[in-house]
Amino acid sequence: MKVDGGCHCGNLTFEAEIDEARVTLCHCTDCQTLAGTAFRISAYSGKNSFSLLTGEPKEYVKISGSGNPRIQAFCPDCGTQIYSTSVGDGPKVYNIRTGTIRQRDKLIPMRQAWNRSALPWIDDLPSIPKFDEAVPQPR
């Protein structure tokens, strides 16, 4: 599937070809910390199928749970996380953060990873009250 997107401030824009069957929700504690929330969802883009159109991301290298170094790329202006990829030269695969993809409403996670780190309330989401806009605050 062809997708496009960018960061919140518009500095970084991209286009890519992704594999819809490999959209993954990750519960690992690194994803929780880096995303600042309970999990992170990424879309897999194969070798040579991701193109940065504008801007230059800032990169942070972390060691993944598998022991491999992974580049975490984000906007230097607004901080939006764009993708992760391997360190080094050569063709790369990218795990694009689905929140940055304009077609994100079409991307359904097809698998979950690192479930042993999932927060215990995740399975109870349907029972939590929902609001179409901001949560009403008591006066």
pLDDT in tens, 38-71: 999 999 998 889 999 999 999 999 998 778 899 9
- Judge residue 83's burial from the number of C-beta atoms within 10 Å of its C-beta, 0-12 exposed, 13-18 middle, 19 or more buried: buried
> Is residue 13 domain-resident?
yes
> Is residue 97 domain-resident?
yes
CA angle 127, 131, 133 (to 5 degrees): 155
Taking 50 as the pLDDT cut, the residues of the chain under it are none
Give the CATH number for residue 65: 2.170.150.70
User: Percent of the chain scored above 90 by pLDDT?
Assistant: 83
Number of domains in the chain: 1
Q: Which structural domain range is residue 110 located in?
A: 2-116
> Is residue 127 domain-resident?
no
